[in-house]
Chains A and B, each alone.
Chain A
Amino acid sequence: MRKRSFVETKAENYTSELIERRWLSNKSFEITLTKPKYFRYIPGQWIRLSHRTVERDYSLVSSPTDPNLALCIRNIERGILSAGLSNTPVGSRFNFNGPHGYFTYRPSTRPAVFVATGTGAAPFVSMARSGVNGFVLLHGVHSAEDLYYTGVFQSTAKQYVPCISETDSLSDAYFRGRVTDYLRKNLAAGLYDFYLCGRREMIRDVTFLVDEKFAGSLIFTETFY
């Protein structure tokens, strides 16, 4: 048997059981699943969850040292799997394959800037829960109710900047606008390690901005939707 080329964790098929569902907002919820005995992963990795005939990919928000697995799920209208997960009874069993992905934290001497839109914050939650700290986190959301995990980030980030696109009843605690607006106006020119997770458009726009304003920085990306 020849040695595998990629070290890391090897993707395998597992079965897990739903332990808990906790609503984070009226659109999103976190589910807790049992962790199979031999399942290992690195913060930032994702699993492919199956329910009946549908498969979807979800980043883990738990820490590898947690006794269970946790996923953050946005209840998408007409989303077959998310709708199923939103009302499947506790005790239901799921198959999943994983872990997958290379969107993992790589310590360096440059400051880390995490940029997320919506549930794209999930891999950063897992990293923060696993001891990564001192980062800048920009979290772009439509409204303040989408800012779940605030407690996790406030205790680990050097700077946590919720960027809210909705203009109504906005507190001064939030940046009004998109994450790219914040980066353009407020992040000092320099070399950073950017970690981008979320919408394709955000990833494209931030990448171009990095090319212009932060050339020489590193960029790691995970596209969510």
Chain B
Amino acid sequence: MKIYTGTGDRGKTSLFSGQRLSKADKRIEAYGDMDELNSIIGALVASLGPEYSDPVEELQQIQSDLFTISALLATTPDSPSMDTITGIGQEHIEFLENSIDRMVDALPELKGFILPGGHSAAAWAHMARTVCRRTERRIVSFLDASFKMQAPDSYQRSLIYINRLSDYLFIAARYCNHLFDVSEKLWKK
């Protein structure tokens, strides 16, 4: 099966809910960055390797959650298509928070600004963190432009998830260096 249809050849794309939009639309920018974030987490998973099955499984769950948020961003809130997506709930956010708390307990105390890097897995986690922050900015920009009043709950919960994910990825970067016994380099003025 060929994967291309060519329907995007003239600069427009289709949402899951059926609308045709410019590929430069803020909504498309937002889920495009989501795609980039998900791919970098994939690189992080690849750098960990299958022997670290617990963190790999956790990161792959996060990748699935990001697909859910992408589907939400590709769907207009008033569309019947929204009925097919359950979206992000409080349990998804708590999943990140519990994992952050678990990793923090295993780590030495933070004594300054850390230079992003160390083991390649940690470097990928830092990359993912920065792209996650950009994704968050894009989502906020899209929501600000699209909703005069408050954005729908499904989008707001996604935003909370992405904000928490940045924290998770920062701690995950530290945890990766800890896992591979690589010392963290502190910023020297």
Interface status of B79 (Cβ within 8 A of chain A): yes
Per-residue CB contact flags for chain B residues 12-48 toward chain A (1 = under 8 Å, else 0) read: 1010111110000000000000000000000000000
Q: A200-B4, A210-B20 are in contact. Are A2 and B86 (CB under 8 A)?
A: no
**Residue among A7, A107, A225 with max Cβ neighbours from chain B (10 Å):** A7
B92 touches A211 (CB 8 A): no
Residues B67 and A5 in contact, CB atoms below 8 Å apart: yes
Q: Determine how close the nearest CB of chain B comes to the CB of A173; give it in whole angstroms.
A: 31
| Contact assessment for B85 and A6 in the assembled complex, using a CB-CB cutoff below 8 Å | yes
B14 contacts A207, CB within 8 Å?
yes
Whether the Cβ atoms of B17 and A3 lie closer than 8 Å is: no
Q: Which residues of B contact A106 (CB under 8 A)?
A: 18, 79-81
Nearest B residue (CB) for A218: B18
B interface bracket (residues with beta carbon within 8 Å of A): 20 to 34
- Contact at A6–B68, with CB atoms within 8 Å? yes
B180 at the interface (CB under 8 A from A): no
Q: Is the CB of A219 within 8 A of B84?
A: no
User: What are the residues of chain A within 8 A of B80 when measuring CB–CB?
Assistant: 106-108
Interface hits, B78-124 → A, CB 8 Å: 79-81, 83-89, 91-92, 95
Q: Give the complex CA separation of A104 and B79 in angstroms.
A: 13
Q: Does B64 contact A (CB under 8 A)?
A: yes
Contact call B20/A2, Cβ cutoff below 8 A: no
B7 within 8 A of A: yes
Known: A108-B80, A211-B20, A218-B19. Is A3-B14 also a contact (CB below 8 A)? Answer: no
| B81 & A7 in contact (Cβ 8 Å cutoff) | no
Flag if A3 contacts B86 (CB, 8 Å): yes
Inside 8 A of B19's CB, which chain A residues have their CB?
Answer: 218
Residues of B near A108 (CB, < 8 A) are: 80
Take A210-B20, A211-B12, A211-B20 as given contacts and tell me if A5 and B64 are in contact as well, using a CB distance cutoff of 8 Å. Answer: yes
Residue A223 interfacial (CB < 8 Å):
yes
| Least CB distance, A7 to chain B, in whole angstroms | 5
| Nearest chain A residue, comparing its CB with the CB of B7 | A207
Q: Which residues of A contact B67 (CB under 8 A)?
A: 5
Indicate with 1 or 0, residue by residue over A180-206, a CB within 8 angstroms of chain B CB atoms: 000000000000010000001001100
Q: How far is the CA of A211 from the CA of B83 in the complex (A)?
A: 26
Closest to A210 in B: B20
Residue A52 at the B interface, CB < 8 A?
no
Q: Does A78 contact B (CB under 8 A)?
A: no
Does A4 touch B at the CB level, under 8 Å? yes
Query: Assuming A7-B84, A108-B80, is B61 touching A2 (CB within 8 A)?
Result: yes
User: Do B20 and A5 touch (CB < 8 A)?
Assistant: no
Complex Cα spacing A203 to B88, Å: 32
B10 within 8 A of A: yes
A16 partner residues in chain B, CB cutoff 8 A: none
**Interchain CB contact (< 8 A) of B16 among A102, A204, A223:** A102
Which A residues are CB-close (under 8 A) to B68? 5-6
Q: How far is the CB of B158 from chain A (nearest CB, A)?
A: 11
Q: How far is the CB of A122 from chain B (nearest CB, A)?
A: 16
Q: A6-B86, A208-B10 are in contact. List 10 more A-B contacts (CB 8 A).
A: A2-B61, A2-B91, A3-B89, A5-B85, A6-B71, A104-B84, A193-B18, A211-B12, A221-B14, A225-B1
Q: Closest 8 interchain pairs by CB?
A: A218-B18, A5-B68, A106-B80, A207-B7, A204-B6, A200-B5, A203-B5, A204-B7
Which residues on B are within 8 Å of A, measured CB to CB? 1-2, 4-7, 9-10, 12, 14, 16-20, 61, 64-65, 67-68, 71, 79-81, 83-89, 91-92, 95
